[in-house]
Each structure stands twice: as C-alpha cells, then as structure tokens.
Chains A and B, each alone.
Chain A
Amino acid sequence: MDYFLVSLIKIAVVFGAFMTTLAYLQWIERKVLAHIQLRLGPQRVGPHGLLQPLADVIKLATKEGVIPANVNTFFYVLAPFLAVSLALISISVIPFGPAIELFGVRTNLELASVNISVLLILAISSVGVYGIALGGWASNNKYSLMGGLRSSAQMISYELPMAISLVTPLLVLNTLDLRQIAERQAGGWFWNWAAFSAPPFVFFAFIVFLIAAFAETNRIPFDLPEAENELVAGFHTEYSSLAFAGFFMAEYANMVTITCVATTVFLGGWHPPFPAPYSNFVPTALFWFFGAVLLFHGLMQPARRWDRFTFPIFGIISLGLGAIFLVAATLLPIIGQILLPVFWFVAKVGVLLFIFIWVRGTLPRFRYDQLMRFTWTFLFPVALGCLLLTGLWVAILG
C-alpha cells in the first residue's frame, strides 16, 4: 500500500513538474531567441510575458480542430496521440536523485526502476518516429508527406550514432540501469562523471550524442522535417488545435527527455561538480546573486516602467529560494536530501536545454544532402571509433 501511495505521489509531482517545464520551456526559448536577435520576445501577457504559455494553451484548446477532406481519418487522429504519448513515457525511468528516506518510507527519486532503462529509452525513441511519419502520410498533402519521409530517414540515420555514442560510456560503467549509471559516477568531483573520466574518447562520444540528439528531436540545424521555406510547416502542416499542440508538446518532451538521458549517462546525474559541504551552498549563492542583480536593475535603473515593480518581486522570490536552499542544506537535511540532488540534476538539464536553444538561435539549417552525408560519413564513423577505442581501453586497462 505504501508503495502504491508513494508511487502515486511521485507520479503526480513528476507529471506536474514535467508539464510545467514543457509549457515554460517554450517561453524560455522564445525569450532567449529574442534576446539573441536583439528583440524583447513575449512581453504582453503578464509581466515579461510570463503568462504567455497559459494563453497559448487556451488558444490551442479552444481553436477548431479541422480534419481536412480526403485525409486518412484514423491515422490522422492517431498520429499526434502516438507522438505525444511515446514522448511522455520515457521520463518515467529517469532518476532525479538518490534513494531517500522520508517519514520512514524509503524510495528512489524516479518513477520506475527498470534494470534495462537505457534500452527502454532507445526502444521508445526508435518507435517515436511513427507519430511524425504517420502524421505526414495521413495528411494527404505533398508537403506533409515530404516532411514525414524526411523525418523517418533522418531519425533512422541519426539513431545509429546516437545509440553507439550512448553505449560508449556504458562500457566503462558496466550497467544498463540509469540509476546505477548515475551512482557509479559518484566521487564528488566533476572528473568522476563519465564524459570527463578516464577514457578521453567518451567525451567525443558525448559530443556526438548531443549532435545526434539535435537531429532526433528535429531541432535546428536538423529541422528538415518542418523546414518552413521548403515545406510550409512539414509534417504538421494540416494539423490545428490540440492535435498540433500534441506534436508541439512531443517535440519539447523529447528534448527534455534526451537532455535528461545525456545528464544521467554523461554528466553524472544528480552529483554536484565538487564535494558536498561546499557544493551545498552553490544554489544559495546563485539564487542570491540573481536576486541581487534583479533588485539592483529594478530599483536603480529600470529600463521600462513596469520593471520597477516586477524585477524587485522576482528578486525577492529568488532571495527567498536561496534562503530555502540554505536552510535545507544546513538545518533540515531531510529536505536537503531531496532539494540538492534535484537542483544539480535540473541545473545540468537546464544548461543542456539552453545549449539547444542557443544553437537554434545561432546556426542555419542544413541542406538535405548535407544532413545525410554528415551523419553517414562523419558522425557514424566517429561514434564507432569512440566505441572501439573505449572498448580497447577497457580491455587493456580496465
């Protein structure tokens, strides 16, 4: 019964946090892109456009869901369901923190303990292409079909380097369980993380994994399936309302999942980059610094009229969060055991997600033949080379 109840609570928390992340990731992306391009980004709905995701959800939910004539209705409706449900499953095997003990109940900070979780994630991500391919095909539209075809070809091609570069650190860590993978990178310092530990080839595998991850999630510079200037909107041209929202959500969910996997396998999961007594105060320092910057800009030199009120409010919230982390780290270890690992995990995922957005704001799109040549003649051999050299290293020195 305990197990059932604890699982329900964990599911509720993870689901809520995941959905909020998906909604606000899009706000963050628009803001970051805007600032890269010297614009302001969403600014109208709420202070600094903070309620924009809510407005988008309401808009998409109340829009008319059009099913065009001559589409294959069954597959047309099935495709977004498939895309979004497959994208949401993978988060259930990601470990967010170590095993904790709360009110006498011992539990892991993850939804499901699977001893082959890496394989499970690979399986789900390899099936995930059906949503996009079917959506493109069922729409009965030449642009959608081209988008669906491109996406299947691209995802099959980039799955190979992704899977091979994911296997490379597993040779060193010697397990397929994401929880054990994260636990075996403990040691206090960041050079214990798989990407920076003994065989130097694992770091190249990490880079290959990140590049392949851009392609797997259909992000710029590999967003050929939805290239606007060639294919209108690619595979989701004919979709509107919640069906479109499904595809949109699936893309962001895949992005979060793949960065979570990268964090767990290559960047040591929830482990801080340097040992515990000192790293416990990093969150407090970061939040207080951020709060002080906000207070200074809001009170001393507000750029806009509303900043005089909004910046100090967010600054005070940030100072409060810093205080919470300080209390959790020093006085209340029962809360600190949850907050601190989750902070480090979220921080690493956040940095990787920022790189995703940064790349989108920086790089132009590949041409289709460049895309294919890049993976088969460069990325795949590099991933294979990393795997073989790491295998040799482990066989000789391990």
Chain B
Amino acid sequence: MIPFPNLDVLAFLVLATFAVLCGLSVILQKHAVASALSLVGVMGSLAVLYLMLGAEFLAAVQMIVYAGAIMVLFVFVIMLLNAGSEKKGPPRYFAYFVGLPALAVFLGLIATFILREMPHTASVQFGAFTQGGPAPVGRLLFTQYLLPFEVTSLLVLIAIIGAMVLAKKEID
C-alpha cells in the first residue's frame, strides 16, 4: 500500500504543478494576452505558496504589486497595441537538433546539482515559520536592511525619471 503523503506535500505538489503548467503556458500560448494571464497564474500560485510558508506579507504584496499592478499594465499595453495571435513559422531545425539536446543537458545539470548539493533532509513544514507578518518584515526592512531598502527605492525613482525623460523625447 502506498503511504498517503501528508497534506503539506500534497498542497505543495498541487501548487507547484499549477505554477509550472502556467509557466509553460506563458511560452506556449499563441496569444500575448493568454501568455500574460498565464504569468498571473504563476504569480498567484507562488503567492499561495508564500502564504502557506508563513510569509503572509510577501504573499499579499506579491498579489498587490505583481498580479494587481504590473501585470494589469502588461495586459493594458497588449490590449492597447491590439496584438494579434502569432502565426506558426517554418520549422527551425536548429531548435530541434541543438536546442532540445542543450535543454536536456541543462535540466540534467540542474538535477545533479540539486541532488548533490542539497542533503536529503526532512521537508519544510508549512506553518513552522511565523515571522512573515507585516511587523517583523517592516522591522527588518527599517533596521537591518535599511541601506539596501533605501538604495532600491532610489533606483526605482531613477528608473521612473528615466522613463519620463525617454517618453518626453519621443513626444518632442
């Protein structure tokens, strides 16, 4: 009799499978909007995984910022440009004879690396980590990681100003 895996493993497997399927769907879909929505699916399942690992704040921010703001902008731009679905081009033999073997080798490398470097220990227990709420995260951000936090915000500000300058040049 096959032992029933505990619910943590089951939940992880379901969510991880969904995330990987959505990830594959991002590159396999012919339509840009469908790809973008598959990416939202990836982000949603990752957010649920974060939530189950105890990182509530990260999960909520993932949904608000990535799924709710950035991807909406992506979808908005795709809809604005009204991109049609892609046509299938002639078969690329380079992709079949070099790309696929290279992919297989790459996956094998990653698998051996993980199997060798990561010892086979007890799996992560959902609910074991409880320091993922807004208060602990905020405390860390404003004490231990203050400098990286401020530098990142400055970087984002520079990016915004840069985008505005570029857009202005286009208009003039």
Which residues from B are CB-within-8-Å of A145? Answer: 79, 82
Q: Do A116 and B76 have beta carbons less than 8 Å apart?
A: no
Q: Do B79 and A148 have beta carbons less than 8 Å apart?
A: yes
Separation of A115 and B132 alpha carbons in the complex (Å): 11
Q: Do B56 and A116 have beta carbons less than 8 Å apart?
A: yes
Q: Do B33 and A75 have beta carbons less than 8 Å apart?
A: yes
Residue A255 interfacial (CB < 8 Å): no
Q: What is the size, in residues, of chain A's interface with B at 8 Å between Cβ atoms? A: 28
- Rounded to whole Å, the gap between the CB of A281 and the closest CB of chain B is 40
Residue A386 interfacial (CB < 8 Å): no
Q: Do A116 and B72 have beta carbons less than 8 Å apart?
A: no
Residue A141 interfacial (CB < 8 Å): no
Residue B73 interfacial (CB < 8 Å): yes
Residue among B72, B79, B133 with the highest chain A CB neighbour number at 10 A: B72
Q: Do B33 and A137 have beta carbons less than 8 Å apart?
A: yes
- B 96-134 to A, binary, CB cutoff 8 A, 1 in contact else 0: 000000000000000000000000000000000000011
Residue A314 interfacial (CB < 8 Å): no
Residue B80 interfacial (CB < 8 Å): yes
The binding surface of chain A is classed by DSSP as: helix
Which residues from B are CB-within-8-Å of A126? Answer: 63-64, 67-69, 72
Q: Which of B119-166 contact A (CB under 8 A)?
A: 133-134
Residue of A whose beta carbon sits closest to that of B82 = A145
- Rounded to whole Å, the gap between the CB of B39 and the closest CB of chain A is 12
Which residues from B are CB-within-8-Å of A133? Answer: 72, 75-76, 79
**Per a CB cutoff under 8 Å, which of A115, A122, A127 touches B56?**
A115
Residue A88 interfacial (CB < 8 Å): no
Q: Do B72 and A119 have beta carbons less than 8 Å apart?
A: no
- Rounded to whole Å, the gap between the CB of A234 and the closest CB of chain B is 14
- Rounded to whole Å, the gap between the CB of A90 and the closest CB of chain B is 13
Q: Do A127 and B79 have beta carbons less than 8 Å apart?
A: no
Residue B18 interfacial (CB < 8 Å): no
**Per a CB cutoff under 8 Å, which of A120, A130, A155, A156 touches B60?**
A120
Q: Which of B27-49 contact A (CB under 8 A)?
A: 31, 33-34, 37, 40
Hey, which bits of chain A sit against chain B, CB under 8 A? 72, 75, 115-116, 119-120, 122-127, 129-130, 133-134, 136-137, 145, 148-149, 152-153, 155-156, 159, 163, 176
The 7 tightest CB contacts between A and B, nearest first, are A126-B68, A123-B63, A119-B60, A152-B76, A123-B64, A137-B79, A116-B56
16 A–B contacts, CB within 8 A, in A order: A116-B134, A119-B56, A119-B60, A122-B68, A123-B64, A125-B68, A126-B67, A126-B69, A129-B68, A130-B75, A134-B75, A145-B82, A149-B80, A156-B72, A159-B68, A159-B69
